[in-house]
Structure 1
Amino acid sequence: MPEFLPGNSVTLLNSGQEYFPALLQAIDQAHREIFLESYIFADDCIGQAVAAALARAARRQVAVRVLVDGFGARDFPETFGPLLQAAGVQYLIYRQEVARFRLRRHRLRRLHRKLVVIDGRVAFVGGINIVDDNNAPAALRPRYDYSVRVEGPLLVPIRQAVRRMWENVAWASFKRRYRLPDHDPCPGCPESSGEQRAAFLLRDNIRHRNAIANAYLEAIHGARESVCIANAYFLPGFRFRHALRAAVQRGIRVTILLQGQTDHPLLQYATQALYGALLEEGIRIFEYRKSFLHAKVAVVDGHWATVGSSNIDPFSLLLAKESNVVVDDPGFARELSQSLEAAMAEGATELTAGDLERLPLHSRLLRWLSYGLVRLFVGAAGYGPRHWRGEQH
């Protein structure tokens, strides 16, 4: 079960228009240390602005450590490495790709977290990469996503997580034991900053293999009124689908907001193969077609809410390193719920069984072929049907 800590202040940030001004301000106010993790660190106006802010901080003698994924940010050493190193920023690459990408389990284990921790007093957790919302094909602009700004006792486990990840990647890179100096185990002393109960969740292959999936399942099993999920890549296993079906059977309103515009057609087609069964079970499905939905959030019963990096698909729930914040607070849940309702009203279309029946046969076959290919990829990575069903081992 998630370990909820009281006394936090968690602020919802809608897409890059709210996230990046808050992030840049926090970086410019840093005094001691900055940890930044991102799957993508793009060479665009946003990436350049964040890199410049990190360089300024390093020149102020702030200890700045940047960790990016070796596939999602594979050009980072060439685009930003020289600038940041010259300023005194330390950076590491998680599983750097030096050869042709092959479908092997360790190659699919990516650093998908988007975390920033500054002075042990403020953190950012969510799904937003270091990339301009409009850095996308015209039909996908702007990205629609969420992050949260966190202050309070929850900073302790978040900071521990980024420090541990840095030390582990440094050890793997230098092939020797590595520990960061830390004379103050909790710089900034994150005392109570608000009234919100919140938990920090990780997904990795050691102690937290099922933490995020189990938190979702626990919330769905305990739902009494409503479940609303917005997720970019949604391909749940048996246990997750069974939990949603059981919730509907108990009279719970279950709504899912998914991508209508996508950058990964294979995954979208695979998800659409499940639409018929989900609709038949009484689950409402909306596709966001105004732009590119990249969110990974949910609200249950108007008090439980989560924002993070984890999709509900086998790649996030079985392979990638992910992080989510769960907030048990009616005010925060109401704000996120209202934001999702506005997004559905302004840019989404509800699907019906009739919409599926009108699809031509070749289109339906394409969706089931895509579903089979995704299952094949997961199996080739070393995870068979039992893993995808979400069974504990």
Structure 2
Amino acid sequence: MKDNWRNGNDVKLLVNGEDFFPRVFDCIRNAETEILLETFIIEEDKIGWRLQKELIAAAQRGVSIDITVDDYGTWDLSDEFIDSLTTAGVRLHLFDPQPKLWGVRLNIFRRLHRKLIVIDQKLAFVGGINFCFDHVISSGPDAKQDYAVEIKGPVVADIHQTCMLLLLRASSRKERRNYMGQARAAEQPAAGDMRVLVVDRDNGHHRTNIERQYLLATRLAQKRLVIANAYFFPGYRLLREFRRAAQRGVEVILILQGQPDMAWVSALSRLLYNYLLRSGVKIYEYRRRPLHGKVAVMDDKWATVGSSNLDPLSLSLNLEANVIIEDEGFNQQLHENLTTITEQDCEQLTLKAAVRGYWWRMPLIFLSFHFLRKFPTILNWLPAHTHKLKLVKPLQETSDTEQTSLTMPSKLSNSGNNVTQDEKLAYEKESIS
């Protein structure tokens, strides 16, 4: 497939929820015609309530709104939260809704993991930040370090098309009629001088797009390659290219989780350290808080920001979206940020530390590399399914049976979390510092 690079764009880096949420909410507040939003997680916390409030206000003034959330990631919103949105006219779609088995969610594969927002076909956001308070640093020591970008210019039409194609391909035949003729937005005039490419991954014709961009960047690197990634367990081809780049003199730096939100993920990553460190790859573990970012810079112009981790789920199963940016100024800004967190909040791993206990980990390391080599074949053993969306309707428009099948389980009633309406209103009024 030919890469569809767009010239004439403006891209702004947004670091953590402090940068991201105020800009998104302000743009929703000023939306005039259309909002498209895709995300993996919406939490029923102060960020989720603020999002709900802004979307309801936009819908009430006539803005067309389609929100698509993953059924696995966003499974526990209350009926009250959802019904407030749908009654106001927000179209809420569940990606691949599946029933639980004995109370356990088993639909862990092929998730909608990308985070995309398009406002009025003129402005877009792409990144890895979900709509939950733990992306705000003031939420506490478990707050996530993460990144997104705000984009204006011709490439916004490609991001809009990415969102619309999911609605067209995965909706029911009846609902699909609402999106006919809207798949391609009018191309916006130039807003800057940055060259940008939208790269999405799905389980159809774009299975390896994101991995291919990382491979290309690694092979073309001449001076430096800095990757910050939350969940690192890439395919064998990428591991081999990282080694080759380091061996030919490229400074290859990996910034990975040192204070993980899921300890087993870091344990898997560490099985690969010895293989990479022996060839000169530098590995730093971020220790200040959980790292959730998925960003990279190569040499002086190339950079990427998005939702894709370098692990089997993101590279081979999930729906993901990144943007590739070619611009010296943006590259330098992101590189300076990564350099700062490396110097202030990371611990560099040494080969001596990596080989400690190597004898008893050697069988696991052998199995890990064998697994990575065979993973594309293993994927064919997993049950395939067609991506589908289910539109959530207002409760008053559904029967009791339909309510059970079309709405998510109530987080508040099922968990015993007695959140009062006064507490919700207090959270909604609180600004994000």
1:185-224 alignment, distance < 5 Å: 189-224=187-222
Q: Which is higher, the Rg of structure 1 or of structure 2?
A: 2
Match of residue 132 from structure 1: 133
Provide structure 2 residue ranges, at least 5 long, that are not aligned to the other structure.
382-433
Matching residue's letter, 2:23? A
In the alignment, is the contact (CA less than 8 A) between 1:269 and 1:366 conserved in 2?
no
1:113-152 alignment, distance < 5 Å: 113-133=114-134, 140-152=141-153
In the alignment, is the contact (CA less than 8 A) between 2:16 and 2:136 conserved in 1?
no
How far the C-alpha of 1:135 sits from its partner, in A, is 7.8
Aligned residues: 378
Q: Distance in 1 between matches of 2:190 and 2:218?
A: 29
Decide whether aligned partners of structure 1 residues 68 and 177 sit closer, same or farther in structure 2, where only a CA change above 3 A counts. closer
How far the C-alpha of 1:133 sits from its partner, in A, is 2.6
Match of residue 277 from structure 1: 275
Decide which moves more: 368-377 or 121-130: 368-377
TM-score (norm 1): 0.89
Match of residue 261 from structure 1: 259
Return the match for 1:382 from 379, 383, 386.
Answer: 379
Matching residue's letter, 1:125? V
Matching residue's letter, 2:323? V
Match of residue 227 from structure 2: 229
Q: Distance in 2 between matches of 1:263 and 1:372?
A: 24
Q: Distance in 1 between matches of 2:373 and 2:214?
A: 25
Q: Distance in 2 between matches of 1:48 and 1:289?
A: 30
Q: Distance in 1 between matches of 2:378 and 2:356?
A: 35
Match of residue 296 from structure 1: 294
Match of residue 65 from structure 2: 64
Decide whether aligned partners of structure 1 residues 241 and 369 sit closer, same or farther in structure 2, where only a CA change above 3 A counts. closer
Match of residue 17 from structure 2: 16
Q: State, as a whole percentage, how many aligned pairs show the same letter.
A: 35
How far the C-alpha of 1:236 sits from its partner, in A, is 1.2
Match of residue 55 from structure 2: 54
Q: Distance in 2 between matches of 1:151 and 1:371?
A: 42
RMSD over aligned Cα atoms: 2.8
Decide whether aligned partners of structure 1 residues 79 and 336 sit closer, same or farther in structure 2, where only a CA change above 3 A counts. farther
Decide whether aligned partners of structure 1 residues 4 and 205 sit closer, same or farther in structure 2, where only a CA change above 3 A counts. same
Decide whether aligned partners of structure 1 residues 221 and 380 sit closer, same or farther in structure 2, where only a CA change above 3 A counts. closer
1:280-359 alignment, distance < 5 Å: 280-359=278-357
How far the C-alpha of 1:215 sits from its partner, in A, is 0.7
How far the C-alpha of 1:99 sits from its partner, in A, is 1.7
In the alignment, is the contact (CA less than 8 A) between 1:220 and 1:227 conserved in 2?
yes
Decide whether aligned partners of structure 1 residues 27 and 177 sit closer, same or farther in structure 2, where only a CA change above 3 A counts. closer
How far the C-alpha of 1:78 sits from its partner, in A, is 2.7
CA offset digits 1:183-235 (Å, max 9, x no partner): 77766751100110000000001121111100111111111111000000111
How far the C-alpha of 1:264 sits from its partner, in A, is 2.0
CA offset digits 1:219-266 (Å, max 9, x no partner): 111111110000001111111011111111211110000001112222
CA offset digits 1:8-56 (Å, max 9, x no partner): 0010000101000000010001000001100000111111111111111
Q: Distance in 1 between matches of 2:235 and 2:349?
A: 21
Provide structure 1 residue ranges, at least 5 long, that are not aligned to the other structure.
385-393
TM-score (norm 2): 0.81
In the alignment, is the contact (CA less than 8 A) between 1:163 and 1:180 conserved in 2?
no
- What secondary structure, in the 3-state scheme, does the structure 2 residue paired with 1:65 have? strand
In the alignment, is the contact (CA less than 8 A) between 2:165 and 2:183 conserved in 1?
no
Q: Distance in 2 between matches of 1:238 and 1:300?
A: 20
- What secondary structure, in the 3-state scheme, does the structure 2 residue paired with 1:53 have? helix
Match of residue 41 from structure 1: 42
Q: Distance in 2 between matches of 1:68 and 1:372?
A: 34
Q: Distance in 2 between matches of 1:75 and 1:321?
A: 21
- What secondary structure, in the 3-state scheme, does the structure 2 residue paired with 1:55 have? helix
In the alignment, is the contact (CA less than 8 A) between 1:43 and 1:79 conserved in 2?
no
In the alignment, is the contact (CA less than 8 A) between 2:38 and 2:115 conserved in 1?
yes
2:161 aligned with 1:164: no
In the alignment, is the contact (CA less than 8 A) between 1:70 and 1:95 conserved in 2?
yes
